[in-house]
Amino acid sequence: MMSEHLRLLELAANKGLPDKITKETGLPLDIVRELVEAGYLKVIDASSFDGDAYISPKITLQGREYLERLKSEGRSKTDSMTISPIRLFISHSAADRDLVERLVELLRAALGLPASQIRCTSVDGYRLPAGADTAEQLRLEVHEAAAFVGVISASSLRSLYVAFELGARWGAKRPLLPLLAPGTDPSILEGPLSSLNALSSANRAQLHQLISDLAAVLRVKSEEPAVYQKHVEAVLALPNVMAQPTSTDPIISPISEVVSGSIADIKVSFDKQEITAKLHTYGLNMSVKWQGPRDQDFFNISLLWPKAIRISKLVGFERGEEEKRDGVVYEELSLFVEKRLWPQKTIKAIGGRAAAQLEYVFDDATHLEVHGNLKPKPCKLYYKFFSQEWPPIEGEVSFRDLNIY
């Protein structure tokens, strides 16, 4: 029961645990082990063939933070808390699925881990449970997994989820092992991650080192190399230059038909909301037709909106910084859409029955600024579409085409 986990943490916080924990102490050794693997307790492992034994148990900083969080949420007396069963978390881009599928088979054979203790979200059998709150489940598992492997490639470093997972793990100061995809240079790592030693999945000796390092972190004994050697060879058999998305995808004209070879078709239009003698109110529409070979769990849209065009209704967006282009002041509007995009599926991202709504107003003064014959302002709507693994698609449309006056 989860109350036992909390009881042990509270005992540790109050220095109430014995100096040596064995089966004779009457404390649940399996729960002690879980707390150690989650990083909440620090012990000296004195286990032997005679049984488990842990010396000098102490609560860690992460353990204190976890305990305080439970108390602050008023949940320290309940059994509703869970400690994740995931011991190994593999952070990766779906574009590297071939690699991670072989990597999972290698690590299972070498370390003897059951599938229930591994999270690898793009591989069947290791995905998140059906109906799980994706963000909350990942937040829990990224922090609590005893071992964390970050598969590093050009695609993974463009993935917002991978960036979140790597940043959260690094910030938690828990074991993080970067593994370079075939054909990926270590120089791709920037910022705080650049100080971490990255192993290469294209190097036999470094794959063996990965197994050895993970065995130490997970506190398990690895199998003899002969047991898992065929899985090492399967990883090494991957091409040394991974197929990566390029930055040459054509920019989609907002009003155009699908451009052959593009990763998505973005269309921008408007609806008339209300027309009076003094004010015309319009609603922005934006739809996305996904052309990629793999589905996407979410996407982001960033707009640059001219301040001269007054917004009368804004739902679902986050306001950002201002910038100036061609003498026009723009405000950034960001939209996160947590809907799955399947190949050839079209989603209305803004307007219509979508959760995001943006309505804007044209009056006489605005009309003169945008359409005036003397010095009309070049007001445009700039947009960027961000998928999980591919370069952003950029486009623009003039406000001369986004109203009828």
Question: Is there a domain that residue 349 lies in?
Answer: yes
CA distances in angstroms from 372 to 132, 311, 366, listed in the order given: 53, 20, 9
Q: Residue 82, Cα to own-chain centre: how many angstroms?
A: 21
Identify the domain boundary among 39, 72, 105.
72
- What is the DSSP code string of 142-169? HHH-SEEEEEE-TTGGG-HHHHHHHHHH
Q: Examine residue 251 and state whether it is found in any structural domain, yes or no.
A: no
Domain assignment of residue 164, yes or no = yes
Question: Looking at the predicted structure, is the pLDDT value of residue 155 above 70?
Answer: yes
Task: Answer yes or no: is 207 within a domain.
Answer: yes
Q: Where in the sequence is the domain holding 344, given as residue range(s)?
A: 264-401
List pLDDT tens digits, range 352-379.
889 999 999 998 888 887 876 556 677 8
The pLDDT tens digits of the residues spanning 15-71 come to 888 889 988 888 888 888 888 877 889 988 888 767 788 899 999 888 888 788 766
**Looking at the structure, do residues 292 and 219 belong to the same domain, yes or no?**
no
The answer to whether residue 259 sits within a structural domain is no
Q: Are 168 and 300 part of one and the same domain?
A: no
Residue 306 pLDDT exceeds 70: yes
Average pLDDT over residues 130-149: 84
Q: Round to whole Å and give the CA distance between 271 and 283.
A: 5
Residue 77 included in any domain: no
Residues 36 and 99 in one domain: no
Give the whole-angstrom CA distance, residue 373 versus residue 151. 56
- Give how many domains the chain has, as a whole number: 3
Task: Give the pLDDT of residue 317.
Answer: 94
Average pLDDT score over residue span 326-334: 92
CATH code assigned at 224: 3.40.50.10140
| Secondary structure (3-state) at 231 | helix
Residues 220, 354, single domain; the answer is no
Read off the pLDDT band of 349 (50, 70, 90).
Answer: very high
d(CA 59, CA 182) in angstroms, rounded, equals: 40
Same domain, 197 and 308: no
92 and 217 part of one domain: yes
Q: Are residues 333 and 274 in the same domain?
A: yes
| Contact assessment for residue 223 and residue 116, using Cβ atoms and an 8 Å cutoff | no
Shared domain for 52 and 128, answered yes or no, is no
Residues 308 and 341 grouped into a single domain: yes
Q: Look up the CATH number of the domain holding residue 392.
A: 2.60.40.10
> Is the same domain home to 97 and 56?
no
pLDDT at site 341: 85
> Percentage of the chain surpassing pLDDT 90?
34
- Domain membership of residue 244 (yes or no) is no
CATH number at residue 52: 1.10.10.10
> Could you report the per-residue pLDDT of 227-267, keeping only the tens digit for each?
999 999 999 998 765 434 333 333 333 333 333 336 888 99
Q: Are residues 101 and 218 in the same domain?
A: yes
Is 241 within the bounds of a domain? no
Please report the pLDDT score of residue 304 as a whole number.
Answer: 95
Amino acid at 198: A
- Residues 95, 61 share a domain: no
List the strands of the sheet with 147-152, edge to edge.
118-119, 88-91, 147-152, 177-180, 199-200
pLDDT at 170: 87
Residue 175 reports pLDDT greater than 80? yes
User: Of 72, 97, 114, which one is at a domain's C-terminal end?
Assistant: 72
